[in-house]
Each structure stands twice: as C-alpha cells, then as structure tokens.
Amino acid sequence: MFKILRNIKNIFVHIRSSLKFIFLVIVAGILITSILSYFYKLTYSVTLDGEFIGYTNNKAQMQEKINEFMEQNDSQNIAFIEIDSLPKYSLCLVKKENQTNDEEIFAKVTGLGTAYYEYYAISEGTEKKYYVATKDQAEEIITELTNKKSSNINKISYEKVFGTDLQEFSPTEAVITNLYEKPIKTYSGSGSYTIASSTTKIDLGITLIKPVSSGYTITSRYGSRSGGTHTGLDIAAPTGTTITAAADGTVTYVNYSNVSYGNCIKISHGNGIETLYAHCSELYVSVGETVTQGQAIATVGSTGNSTGSHLHLEIRVNGTTLNPQNYLY
Ligand SMILES: [Zn+2]
C-alpha cells in the first residue's frame, strides 16, 4: 500500500518538474522571439535571374501588379508585354532597419519587358503596303475598294499583325486613294465579241441613223488607241442630250452600273445586228421592249468608266464589233 502511494508521489514530482521545464521553454521562447522581433522582421527577399533586387512584405500584391503590367493593352496597340524573367521570392529574417522597396523591384522587373503590338496590315498581293491601328479601319478600306470596284480588289487583303515593332499608321482615306485602281474596262454581261478592223464593212441590209444628231463632237474613233482597241465610237455631247434608237429593234440588254459601260442599252435589229449605247445617264426602255428608229431610248451621260459626258456607240454583227463610222457620222 505504501509502495503504491510512494510511486504516485514520485509521478507527481516528475510531472511537476516536467511542467516547470515546459514553462521555462515557453518563457525562453517568448524572450527569444521578443528579442528577435525587436531587431528582425520576416519578409520576402526578391531575386531576379539570381541577383538580389530587394525586399517586399507583400508577395501576392507584387505578383498581381506584375501580371497586370504584362496584360496591359490600353495604349498604342500594345497587345501584351513579355518580361524576360520573373522574380523569385524567398521568406527570410532581416534586420528591422532594412526597408522594403516595392517600387524599385517593380521597376527592375518591368524595365526589361518587351512590348508586343497588335495592328493590321493591308496587303496588295503578298506585299504588306500599309498599316492601320484597328480592324474596323482595315475592313472599311476593303469595303470601300470593293464598292468602287477597284480592279485590284482580289489582291487586296488584311491581316492582324503581332510584332515588337510598331509601324507608322496610314490614314484610311490615304490607303484607299493609293490602292484604288480604276476598274478594267470589261464587257459586262451582254455576250462575248470579237473586233473587226476599222475598214471592215459588212452590208447590214438596214439603214442606221445617228443616235445623237446635233451638238456633238467625235472624241475617239473606232480602232486601236493607247491602252488597247476602242470597240466603238465616242460621241461627246452634254449630259441629258437625247439618244435615239439607230434602227427598229428589240431591247435585249439594259444594265445600270457604275463600272465599265455604265448605264447601258443593247438593241437587236435582227440578222445578228446589234447596236450598243454606253455611259448613259438615264435609260428610258426595258428589256423585251420594241423600239422604232429615232425613238428616245436614253440620255447622254458619263456613267461607268468614262471621263466626260459622251455616248459610246457600238455596232456588232454576230458578235463582231464594226467601225460605226463606216455607217454613220
Ligand atoms: Zn468609247
């Protein structure tokens, strides 16, 4: 019985000395911590490419600030900024008098950044010719050239460009003006044809009368001229001057256009004989309508590929253009 009690007493003594020890350890701990925290503080040491660049208390804030910098895209077509290397952070104890220098760290990290720009290149064929800042501008240029039926429209394209160089931007209007090419004079929609020499005279079997009978000037004759063969006769007259049918016939083609022949009429006179009236301002007839010789069918204008008010008159037999001056004027 006594033996047991003595053992219990021993255990208490043991516990008491253990508690005393734990207490001492805690007190010593608090003391050391107090002394340390009096002279030292816990902070992040920051290195860039292994080189120490400073201290920061707030690693998360610093990282966020750097990320924001890299993703900035609000000025001068900057898409993003690439930084050569990201800083490394390690927790450490430093003497209290050591200052943190967030500003300096940020400046050093971002100072070595490379800006990547985003803009649009306008190409003709494979050659990048102009640069614009926005996609809207690029599309406006393409739309405008398409509307104007620029003859090079199939070669014009745009693409988004990423690069470290920011090109000088061209004004939209200037790009349109510089790229625009007058539409090629192509015969639109009323059949293929061949060209007879200016002296070829086929007996038509009908008599034609002048579609513009007064107040006109012949400005370009049938046959070869600079830039190709002229397939008709140009009869200049003031805009609005009446054009009459050269002979009885049926209207086979009426086209309103801003390119090539412009507003244009074709009349079939039978036996493969046709007359064509181009660059008109107003058209008075429609397809299928029969017309009589001398009937007003249109007025003189300068629509399509034309530089002044005139009637471009063609005479064709079975798809071959003939020199109108072998029959008229
Ligand atoms: Zn002409």
pLDDT digits (tens, 9 = 90+) for 77-121: 888 888 888 899 999 888 888 788 889 999 888 887 888 888 999
Final residue in a domain of this structure, among 97, 112, 127: 112
Q: Report the separation in Å between the CA atom of 220 and the middle of ligand 1, taken as the mean of its atom positions.
A: 7
Structure tokens at 26: 């805690």
**Does a structural domain hold residue 5?**
no
Q: Report the separation in Å between the CA atom of 196 and the middle of ligand 1, taken as the mean of its atom positions.
A: 15
Please state the rounded mean pLDDT for residues 13-24.
Answer: 83
Q: Report the separation in Å between the CA atom of 311 and the middle of ligand 1, taken as the mean of its atom positions.
A: 7
Do 68 and 37 fall into the same domain?
Answer: yes
Do 308 and 198 fall into the same domain?
Answer: yes
At residue 107, φ and ψ (nearest 5 deg) are -65, -40
Quickly state the pLDDT bin for 4 (edges 50, 70, 90).
low
Please state the rounded mean pLDDT for residues 7-36.
Answer: 82
Do 199 and 300 fall into the same domain?
Answer: yes
User: What is the 3 state secondary structure string of the chain?
Assistant: CHHHHHHHHHHHHHHHHHHHHHHHHHHHHHHHHHHHHHHEEEEEEEEECCEEEEEECCHHHHHHHHHHHHHCCCCCCEEEEECCCCCEEEEEEEECCCCCCHHHHHHHHHHCCEEEEEEEEEEECCEEEEEECCHHHHHHHHHHHHHCCCCCHHHEEEEEEEECCCCCCCCHHHHHHHHCCCCCCCCCCCCCCEECCCCCCCCCCCCCCCCCCCCCEEEECCEEECCEEECCEEEECCCCCEEECCCCEEEEEEECCCCCCCEEEEEECCCCEEEEEEEECCECCCCCCEECCCCEEEECECCCCCCCCEEEEEEEECCEEECHHHCCC
Do 200 and 322 fall into the same domain?
Answer: yes
Share the mean pLDDT of the chain: 88
**Does a structural domain hold residue 273?**
yes
Q: Would you state the pLDDT for residue 192?
A: 63
Q: Report the separation in Å between the CA atom of 268 and the middle of ligand 1, taken as the mean of its atom positions.
A: 20
Q: Would you state the pLDDT for residue 55?
A: 92
Q: Report the separation in Å between the CA atom of 91 and the middle of ligand 1, taken as the mean of its atom positions.
A: 86
Final residue in a domain of this structure, among 81, 112, 143: 112
**Does a structural domain hold residue 61?**
yes
Q: Report the separation in Å between the CA atom of 278 and the middle of ligand 1, taken as the mean of its atom positions.
A: 8
Do 146 and 201 fall into the same domain?
Answer: no
Q: Report the separation in Å between the CA atom of 183 and the middle of ligand 1, taken as the mean of its atom positions.
A: 15
Q: Would you state the pLDDT for residue 303?
A: 95
Please state the rounded mean pLDDT for residues 28-35.
Answer: 85
Q: Report the separation in Å between the CA atom of 307 and the middle of ligand 1, taken as the mean of its atom positions.
A: 10
Q: Report the separation in Å between the CA atom of 261 and the middle of ligand 1, taken as the mean of its atom positions.
A: 9
Name 309's Cβ contacts closer than 8 Å, sequence gap at least 6: 236, 237, 238, 239, 279, 281, 300, 301, 302
Q: Report the separation in Å between the CA atom of 156 and the middle of ligand 1, taken as the mean of its atom positions.
A: 29
Question: Of 128-137, 187-196, 242-251, 304-313, which range is least confident?
Answer: 187-196
Structure tokens at 317: 């037999």
Q: Report the separation in Å between the CA atom of 203 and the middle of ligand 1, taken as the mean of its atom positions.
A: 23
**Does a structural domain hold residue 40?**
yes
Q: Would you state the pLDDT for residue 186?
A: 38
Quickly state the pLDDT bin for 69 (edges 50, 70, 90).
confident
Categorise residue 318: left if φ over 0, alpha if ψ from -120 to 50, beta otherwise: left
Q: Report the separation in Å between the CA atom of 258 and the middle of ligand 1, taken as the mean of its atom positions.
A: 15
**Does a structural domain hold residue 301?**
yes
The predicted model scores a pTM of: 0.45
Rounded distance between C-alpha atoms, residue 246 and residue 99, angstroms: 99
Q: Report the separation in Å between the CA atom of 195 and the middle of ligand 1, taken as the mean of its atom positions.
A: 14
Percent of the chain with pLDDT over 70: 94
**Does a structural domain hold residue 50?**
yes
Q: Taking Cα atoms as reference points, which of 55, 81, 56 lies closest to residue 68?
A: 81
Do 47 and 74 fall into the same domain?
Answer: yes
Question: Of 88-97, 144-153, 280-289, which range is least confident?
Answer: 144-153
Count of domains in the chain?
A: 3
Structure tokens at 260: 């090539």
Please state the rounded mean pLDDT for residues 169-196.
Answer: 73
Percent of the chain with pLDDT over 90: 51
Q: Report the separation in Å between the CA atom of 271 and the middle of ligand 1, taken as the mean of its atom positions.
A: 24
Q: Report the separation in Å between the CA atom of 160 and the middle of ligand 1, taken as the mean of its atom positions.
A: 42
Do 313 and 198 fall into the same domain?
Answer: yes
Q: How many CB atoms lie within 10 A of CB 252?
A: 16
Q: Which is more confident, 308 or 227?
A: 308
| pLDDT value at 251 more than 80 | yes
Do 140 and 62 fall into the same domain?
Answer: no
Q: Which amino acid is at 25?
A: V
Rounded distance between C-alpha atoms, residue 306 and residue 239, angstroms: 12
The CATH number assigned to the domain holding 224 equals 2.70.70.10
Do 277 and 300 fall into the same domain?
Answer: yes
| pLDDT value at 185 more than 60 | no
Instruction: State the residue range of the domain holding 93.
Output: 28-112
Question: Of 191-195, 199-203, 237-241, 251-255, which range is least confident?
Answer: 191-195
Q: Would you state the pLDDT for residue 111?
A: 83
Q: Report the separation in Å between the CA atom of 214 and the middle of ligand 1, taken as the mean of its atom positions.
A: 18
| pLDDT value at 74 more than 80 | no
Do 160 and 274 fall into the same domain?
Answer: no
Q: Would you state the pLDDT for residue 2?
A: 61
**Does a structural domain hold residue 277?**
yes
Q: Taking Cα atoms as reference points, which of 315, 203, 324, 207 lies closest to residue 268?
A: 315
Do 200 and 160 fall into the same domain?
Answer: no
Rounded distance between C-alpha atoms, residue 83 and residue 210, angstroms: 78
Rounded distance between C-alpha atoms, residue 156 and residue 178, angstroms: 12
Final residue in a domain of this structure, among 112, 135, 170: 112
Q: Report the separation in Å between the CA atom of 295 and the middle of ligand 1, taken as the mean of its atom positions.
A: 22
CA dihedral of residues 113, 114, 118, 124 (deg, nearest 10):
180
Quickly state the pLDDT bin for 72 (edges 50, 70, 90).
confident
Please state the rounded mean pLDDT for residues 276-295.
Answer: 94
pLDDT digits (tens, 9 = 90+) for 210-225: 999 999 999 999 988 7
Q: Report the separation in Å between the CA atom of 167 and the middle of ligand 1, taken as the mean of its atom positions.
A: 44
Q: Report the separation in Å between the CA atom of 177 and the middle of ligand 1, taken as the mean of its atom positions.
A: 25
Q: Report the separation in Å between the CA atom of 269 and the middle of ligand 1, taken as the mean of its atom positions.
A: 21
Q: Report the separation in Å between the CA atom of 145 and the middle of ligand 1, taken as the mean of its atom positions.
A: 24
Do 121 and 201 fall into the same domain?
Answer: no
Q: How far is CA 16 from CA 20, 25, 28, 107, 140, in A?
A: 6, 14, 18, 59, 90
Question: Of 27-41, 173-187, 240-254, which range is least confident?
Answer: 173-187
**Does a structural domain hold residue 2?**
no
Q: Report the separation in Å between the CA atom of 308 and the middle of ligand 1, taken as the mean of its atom positions.
A: 11
Please state the rounded mean pLDDT for residues 7-20.
Answer: 77
